[in-house]
Amino acid sequence: MNQMYFKIKHIILFITGVFFILLFIFKFLHEDTENLEENPYGSNLKFPEDVKHATYLLNEAYRKIEALQERIIHLESRIPKTYPDVKFLNYMNRKRVLITGGAGFVGSHLVDKLMLEGHEVIVVDNFFTGRKSNVEHWIGHENFELIHHDIVNPIFIEVDEIYHLASPASPPHYMHNPVKTIKTNTLGTINILGLARRLKAKVLIASTSEVYGDPDIHPQPETYWGHVNPIGPRACYDEGKRVSETLTYAYAKQENMHVRVARIFNTYGPRMHMNDGRVVSNFILQALKDEVITVYGTGDQTRSFQYVSDLVEGLVALMRSNYSQPVNLGNPVEHTINGKIKFTCLF
């Protein structure tokens, strides 16, 4: 292993040396080309022999660099990848878990938790908003599988539990493609519920606090039906999630399925998109750029914010519970937008 690192180190040093030689040759050719334009026969180059020779050297250098790059890639592929330490679970206790949207902000943190607990995790993501980099530290692990697939189309796989998190969740994303958002939350949910029915697997549907619309009461209990606008600019997401919940309980009643519904409130933490258009990311991004922070309205409106690891704990606890009715997952303490701005500016 040490010899392999030693080889890679020296190859990189050699490439660095070749790079500086190329810079010198380019500079030499550039200067003499300028001289040729002024004095074709008075330059230091014996045109055209020296130019042909310099071109030959450049081509050889390029060829050697490409060969060295291929060699480095080959050597790196032989270095064993290291993974975070995972708990060992025997066959009876280990679950095979499907996470749709598992390469996204929340989904990738759920992947981390279940992997560290020793379960087998299959991630299905179409990478519309998810990123492969969020889960790349697990790629190659024997308990992990990543499938590039859009759950608007049926998927056939054998699992014990399903977390259905696939859906654009930030305003710029779901407003950019509202039809896609509705399809994911309707057709996608139908496909996942159909899979869970066939496998007799427990399924958790990730809903949202947006099902309450523009609420008249704060905080909203799960029994609140909401104050909604079915044709507003955000309706593709809000109504899509409401239909998703309706489908879930229709399947549960008709097919006697084990379902869970989590209504997720504002969440922040690592891996969130900085340009996702939501309050926390907007404030942080504008503060980092030393820009004036944008506030819509008076700033006295209240929101609750939870850290992503707390949300993940809630999702897992809900899945493992015997409670089948919708559950709000969020911080019970609400803060004003102005208060959040002051907190952001402290850092």
62-68: long-range pairs with CB below 8 Å, 24+: 64/18, 65/15, 65/18, 68/11, 68/14, 68/15
CB-count exposure of residue 285 (10 Å: 0-12, 13-18, 19+):
middle
What are the phi and psi torsion angles at 224 (to 5°)?
-75, 130
Write out the catalytic residue numbers: 237
Q: Residue 13 and residue 10: Cα distance in Å, rounded?
A: 5
H-state helical runs in the chain? 2-38, 49-77, 105-116, 171-176, 178-199, 235-255, 279-288, 308-319, 337-345
Contact 133, 198 (CB under 8 A): no
What pLDDT, on a 0 to 100 scale, did the predictor assign at position 314?
98
What pLDDT, on a 0 to 100 scale, did the predictor assign at position 262?
98
What pLDDT, on a 0 to 100 scale, did the predictor assign at position 188?
98
What pLDDT, on a 0 to 100 scale, did the predictor assign at position 70?
84
What pLDDT, on a 0 to 100 scale, did the predictor assign at position 273?
82
At 238, list the tokens: 């809000």
Beta-strand pair 334-336/302-304 = antiparallel
Q: In angstroms, what CA-CA distances link 191 with 17, 150, 243, 247, 258?
A: 56, 11, 14, 11, 16
Q: Residue 80 and residue 92: Cα distance in Å, rounded?
A: 29
What pLDDT, on a 0 to 100 scale, did the predictor assign at position 16?
64
What pLDDT, on a 0 to 100 scale, did the predictor assign at position 81?
77
At 281, list the tokens: 């990311």
Chunked mean pLDDT (size 10), the chain, 347 residues: 52 63 60 50 54 77 84 75 89 96 98 98 96 95 97 97 94 86 96 98 97 90 94 93 98 98 94 78 75 71 86 98 97 75 57
**What is the CATH number assigned to the segment(s) 96-265+309-325?**
3.40.50.720
Contact 101, 27 (CB under 8 A): no
Q: Is 56 helix (H, G, I), strand (E, B) or coil?
A: helix
What pLDDT, on a 0 to 100 scale, did the predictor assign at position 1?
46
H-state helical runs in 39-104? 49-77
Q: Residue 307 and residue 331: Cα distance in Å, rounded?
A: 9
Contact 283, 290 (CB under 8 A): no
Contact 248, 254 (CB under 8 A): no
**pTM score, two decimals?**
0.76
Which of 224-240 are b and which e, b meaning 16 or more Cβ less than 10 Å from the residue's Cβ?
A: eeeebeeeeebbbbbbb
